[in-house]
Amino acid sequence: MILKNRVAIVTGAGSGIGQAGALVMAKEAAHVVVADIDFMNAEETVSQIRAFGGSAESMVLDVTDDKALEAGIAAVAEHHGRIDILHNHAGAQVAGDLEQVAIDGFDKSWSLNVRAHFMAARFVMPVMKKAGKGVILNTSSSSGVLYDREMIAYTTTKHAVIALTRQMAGDYARFGIRVNALCPGWVDTPFNEPFIAQMGGRDAIEAYIAEKVPLGRWADVSEIAEPILFLVSDRSSYMTGQILVVDGGETVV
């Protein structure tokens, strides 16, 4: 139980990778605050955690709403007296190249994929500084370290998350706070629907992955959960400002 007595906030934890991360933290005895914009999805994750005897609560909010996000984080800190882990995972994938991408889609990507990470970290930082320790994990993407065809909004924001992570890590290490980024590759979740549509359907994306990923397949969310656990736990206690790419080898090709 490597996360016993720790309180974790996971944004976008109602489905996919966020849910898998929340589950694995709860299995290691963390109390997990499941933050998601969708009430039913958040409650489903909480129910799954409680079903195996874990501890969790839902926090339903839009992470791009600064006031709601600040209030939610403040309530967690007040109720539990601590916030040990923040996993900024909520994000959006918006397709299109420079000329095709909708301007409001680009703005949405920036607001959700970058600014919300920034604001959540800003709100938890005083709590972690007071404690003299804490872990922030930001979800970037393999798209944050390579070119991603006709996905300018997504790729730009995911590169920015890496810069944000490194900057925070350097600034706050002296307070005992570690900040790292996770870069998943192709993970089989509904999150990929915009890109699947852009590629021309499921068969097309399967062929693309088989060609571009050396392991020749998608990842299952469980294969991303374990790296998440590593990064938020003391197993990575001397690691900060780093980018962990979990992509089946795509970025080495």
| Residue bearing tokens 């090709």 | 253
Within 13 A of 204's CA, how many CA atoms are on the CB side?
Answer: 9
Give the per-residue pLDDT at 31: 98
236: helix, strand or coil: helix
Whether 223 has a pLDDT exceeding 90, the answer reads: yes
* Amino acid 47: pLDDT: 98
Question: How many other C-beta atoms are found inside a 10 Å radius of the C-beta of residue 52?
Answer: 9
Q: CATH topology for 7-187+219-246?
A: Rossmann fold (3.40.50)
Is-contact 42 19, C-beta < 8 A? no
What's the chain's average pLDDT? 95
pTM of the model: 0.95
Res 148: pLDDT: 78
In this structure, of 68-82, 116-130, 145-159, 194-208, the range with the lowest mean pLDDT score is 194-208
Report which of 244, 225, 246, 165 is spatially closest to residue 3, judged by C-alpha positions: 225
In this prediction, residue 253 has a pLDDT band, given cuts at 50, 70 and 90, of low
Q: What distance in Å separates the CA atoms of residue 165 and residue 148, rounded to the nearest whole number?
A: 20
> Is 147 a known active-site residue?
no
Q: What pLDDT is recorded for position 205?
A: 85
Q: pLDDT of 28-57, one tens digit each?
A: 999 999 999 999 999 999 999 999 999 999
Q: List pLDDT tens digits, range 55-108.
A: 999 999 999 999 999 999 999 999 999 999 999 999 998 889 999 999 999 999
Q: Is the pLDDT of residue 191 over 80?
A: no
- Per annotation, catalytic residue among 154, 172, 208, 238: 154
Rounded to the nearest 10 degrees, the angle between the axes of helix 39-51 and helix 16-27 is 30
Q: Nearest to residue 20, comparing CAs of 191, 136, 169?
A: 191
Whether pLDDT at 195 is above 80: no
Each domain of the chain, given as residue ranges in start order, spans 7-187+219-246
Token pair for residue 21?
């991360």
Please give the structure tokens belonging to residue 184.
């998943």
Q: Are 180 and 242 in contact, with CB atoms under 8 Å apart?
A: yes
Minimal CA–CA distance to 20: which of 196, 246, 249, 201?
A: 246
CA distance 195 to 94: 8
